[in-house]
Each structure stands twice: as C-alpha cells, then as structure tokens.
Chain A
Amino acid sequence: MLCIEAKDLHKRYGKVVALDGLSFGVECGEKVALIGPNGAGKSTTLKVLVGLISPDQGYAKIAGYDPDSIMARKVIGYLPEDASPYPMLTVRENLEYIAALRGVEDVKERVEEMLDLLELREVERRRVMALSRGQRQKVAIALALIHRPKVLLLDEPLNYLDIPTQEKVISYLNSLKDVTTLVATHIMSIAVRLTSRVLIISHGKLIWTGTVQELRHMGKEDEPIESVVARMMRGSG
C-alpha cells in the first residue's frame, strides 16, 4: 500500500514553474530520499504533501487520504527547510504547546523523551530566540516527532547540526522501522545514510528512481555516487 502518493503534480509561483507533472509513490514503511539540485522543487513537493499549498493540477495522498484531511494530519510529521519554532517560547513550552495541539496523551513523558533524545535538557528553559541555529534545528526535529508520526516528511533535516547530533538523529530515524519517511535533500550522502531508495527530481520532474544499490551500479568502478547523480541531472537538461 502507498503511504505517500504524488500524482501529476503541477505548481507554479507566478511565472516560475516549481512542479511540472511530478508523480511518485512511497510504500508504507519505506524510507525514500527526494534528491535534486537547489530549486528542483523538493520543498514545494513537501508543502503540497502536508497540505499547506494545493497543486494547480494533480493530487497528493497521505495514507490514502487528502493531505488536509484529519486522518492525514494525524499521521504526518513535518519538518520544513529552515524550520523555526516559536521564538518567544522556551524549548519546553514549544514542545508542550505542539503536543497539546496534537492531543498527545502522555505529554510529560513524551517531552522528557524528546529532550533526552535531542540533548536539549540544558536549554529546556531557554527561549528559542536565545538559541543557536543548530539548537533550534534540534527543537524543530523534536516538534516534528513528538506525536509519533507514521509518515515523516523531512526537508533537509540535518542542516545546521553538528556531526555527533547528526549521527544521533540518523540512528534514531533508522530505528523507526515502520515509519514511512520521505527525506528531501541535495546531499547524496545523507540520502544514502537515511534511506534505501531515491527519487531524483530536476525542474519539478522525476528523472530517475531506484535503490541506492542500483544507483551505485550505474556508475563506473569507484565512481562516487554524487558524480553519477550529477551525470544524470545533466542528461535531463
């Protein structure tokens, strides 16, 4: 069963064509990377998938439901690019606020878990505006995960994080076995670490999809995976 489905998505911002007939599907429980250069339409795709913008043409489904239906919203966990939590609230207030909106049952425990997971204890009583960019990213990741989402849509999730935190987040995300995950990134190595299949998009269109192994096999001996992708994108014009 498909937990994420995009069908013939078109979206323009004024004259700029951001999505140009993008279609793909992600099986339930699958972990997939959405790869493409800057401006390829990755962030726009995620915004359509979470129902913040509707496509000019085509449709998206989350677990079979419309993205802005209650059923879909319940299961979605979304981390946008350059995510910024509420600046005037403290770290804990942010977590509790979103947990309350989400109707999380065991708020207290869940908040504690998140604080530990992302090593935010030291700063839990600090306002987000007084945090570093990396610390903010950690809070944002916690906000995206707090309600135990079944479908995770993450936009450049490892931005700003230091290497130990990156490792921690990677192993946590990999431990969420039955969570369908779509990670938008322009960094190939992140895709390889977090997912088993990649979707390569360029100019709002899907140009290739396959497993990470298949992608490796398309390269010559010892050719870095990045250069395979680069070759493919050049090919797409």
Chain B
Amino acid sequence: MAVTREDVLHIADLARLGVDGARADALTKELSAILAHMEVLSAVDTASVPPTDGIGAEGTPLRPDERVSPLMERTLESFAPAMRDGFFIVPRLATHEDPAESGA
C-alpha cells in the first residue's frame, strides 16, 4: 500500500501538523519507503493468535474514590501560554469548526 500525497495531507490534517506542499511530497516518499518494509508482516500467519486485549491475570488497578490534593508545586499561570481570570485562553474557533460539536 503506497502512501499518496492526499493521504499525507489528510493525516497531517488529522494530526494538526500543518504540512506544506514541498514537505508533503518528501513525506509521501519517506512514509511509502518505510511502510514498504512493513509489508513483510502481511505474510505472517496470525490467525491462531488470540487478541492481546484482555490477556494477563491482572486487571487494571482501581483507585478509591477519595480526593487527593493535586501536589502541584507550580501554578498554572507559571506555564500556561495564555490565561485570564483562571481560564486558559485560546484563539476563537474559525467558522469551519463548530463549538457545539465539542466533546462526546
């Protein structure tokens, strides 16, 4: 499966990496070359491999529902790029991004 330029632009968009034209061409070649090395896997018979999910004796450890003070030795203001009245401030969404679609 060779990677196309459109693939690169699409995944760059998903990953918010802002790849420009010239770089997209170079990355198309690089990713195709790397993925060509992965083709060897398609020949491996994995039909008998059980799904890795859920294997192992232990389940995920659980934490009691108790409040823990956050133990932050520095304030949010000390590292946040922009804050106001306790809020993180980011640039307003452009028109093609819809605020009502945030979250789940």
Judge: A and B partners, yes or no: no
Binding site for B on A (CB under 8 A): none
Binding site for A on B (CB under 8 A): none
